[in-house]
């Protein structure tokens, strides 16, 4: 509820004697440093008497109630929910593709990925692609170490005393044969080039197929895969980036209206980032920074599925605060701020202390209560 307060300077008022110094109260509607981007209109209030003798026009002001609630400096940015880390799968070796997974299928390390010439190509975990056959008599190398790590993790080296070093030992041959037996393949003890695909993820989701059944292997990608987790991505404006800190906590509002918490996993300048988002503003995001957010609860995210989201970075927050519009604030002579509180047919000036300021609203403390009416310009 609001009302109008009429303030009129009476005619014929004489200037006050010099020895009686009047207190001046000046409106401060623009708090440049504190507002952090919140806008407010600048104006002057004719509180106090003027020294002229001519009549002054009446100035109309409204009132607004002091609110009690929460205030936050957080910002919101549009974004997208998508599967993370698109990766092309390039097949090595020669042959014809005879089986492919379905789009959306999840393949775990140690399982059949696709098939060439009727034989399975298996997904294993590693950062280094295979470039040679791995078997007895080969020279030491990090690719051997990578293979041995997979054999140990998959359980095919149990009881062999196998260690993840760079030497292809007799125990490695035994572990490979066990693995080949589990796959239903001939037990040669040698892993041939093209029979394995090494990817960093322990499990992947097939995003898109790049080859058809019957296609010959070549330099083009057989498919594109992603991680199995959904992530949120956003491309904030440059003047918002300071709010996005590595590992910082954020809240993501999903398309179905629910919210989910997460943390900032990476900030990548240029391109679409890990999530594959092309920019929430339609610009393509070539020169923007893409923020990728890991989500706390995947089940909730997958219920919403890939979609648009709103990312909120929560800054400083206060609760149970007394809040007024910044237009109610008065800058006082000698420093500090006050508000004009309406008491019946009169007003009284109350000195207050400023707290958090956001969205053109200010937290105040002082001799005011929730529900009090304070004066604002109309």
Q: Is the pTM of this model over 0.75?
A: no
Over the stretch 95-131, which tens digit does the pLDDT of each residue have? 999 999 999 999 999 999 999 999 999 999 999 999 9
Which pLDDT does position 124 carry in this prediction?
97
Residue 242: pLDDT band with limits 50, 70, 90: confident
CB atoms inside a 10 Å sphere around CB 23: 10
Q: How far apart are the first and last CA of the chain?
A: 14
Predicted confidence at residue 59, as pLDDT, reads 52
Q: In this predicted structure, which of 29-38, 50-59, 61-70, 105-114 has the lowest mean pLDDT?
A: 29-38
Secondary structure letter of residue 134 according to DSSP: B
Which residues are bridge partners to 121 per DSSP?
114
Element (H, E) at 300: helix 298-304
The string of DSSP codes covering 255-280 is TTS-EEEEEEEEEEESS-TTTT---T
Nearest Cα neighbor of 297 from 262, 263, 248, 253 is: 262
- Per residue in 212-225, pLDDT (tens digit) is 999 888 878 999 99
Tell me the mean pLDDT in the region 70-82: 91
Average pLDDT, the chain: 83
pLDDT of residue 40: 35
Burial of 283 (0-12, 13-18, 19+ CB in 10 A): exposed
306 φ, ψ to 5°?
A: -55, 125
């Amino acid at each position: 509820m609001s009302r109008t307060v009429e303030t009129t300077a009476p005619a014929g008022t004489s200037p006050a004697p010099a020895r009686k110094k009047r207190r001046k109260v000046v409106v401060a509607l623009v708090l440049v440093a504190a507002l952090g981007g919140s806008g407010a209109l600048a104006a002057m209030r004719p509180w106090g008497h003027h020294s002229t003798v001519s009549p002054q026009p009446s100035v109309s002001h409204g009132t607004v109630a002091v609110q009690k609630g929460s205030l936050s400096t957080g910002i919101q940015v549009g974004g997208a929910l998508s599967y993370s880390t698109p990766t092309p799968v390039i097949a090595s070796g020669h042959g014809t593709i005879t089986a492919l997974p379905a789009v959306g299928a999840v393949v775990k390390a140690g399982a059949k990925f696709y098939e060439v010439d009727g034989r399975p190509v298996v997904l294993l975990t590693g950062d280094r692609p295979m470039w040679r056959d791995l078997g007895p008599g080969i020279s030491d190398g990090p690719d051997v170490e990578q293979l041995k790590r997979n054999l140990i993790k998959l359980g095919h080296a149990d009881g062999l005393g196998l260690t993840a070093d760079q030497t292809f030992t007799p125990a490695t041959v035994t572990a490979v044969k066990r693995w080949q037996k589990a796959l239903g393949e001939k037990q040669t003890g040698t892993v041939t080039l093209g029979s394995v695909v090494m990817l960093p993820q322990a499990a992947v989701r097939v995003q898109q197929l790049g080859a058809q059944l019957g296609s010959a292997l070549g330099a083009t990608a057989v498919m594109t895969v992603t991680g199995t987790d959904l992530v949120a991505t956003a491309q904030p404006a440059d003047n918002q980036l300071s709010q996005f800190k590595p590992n910082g906590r954020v809240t993501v509002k999903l398309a179905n209206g629910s919210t989910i918490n997460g943390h900032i996993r990476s900030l990548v300048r240029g391109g679409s980032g890990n999530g594959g988002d092309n920019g929430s503003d339609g610009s393509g995001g070539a020169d923007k920074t893409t923020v990728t957010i890991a989500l706390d609860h995947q089940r909730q995210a997958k219920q919403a599925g890939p979609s648009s989201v709103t990312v909120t970075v929560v800054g400083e927050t206060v609760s149970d605060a007394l809040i007024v519009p910044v237009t109610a604030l008065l800058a006082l002579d000698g420093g500090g701020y006050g508000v004009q509180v309406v008491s019946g047919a009169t007003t009284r000036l109350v000195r207050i202390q400023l707290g958090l300021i956001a969205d053109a609203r200010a937290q105040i403390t002082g001799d005011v209560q929730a529900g009090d009416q304070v004066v604002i310009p109309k």
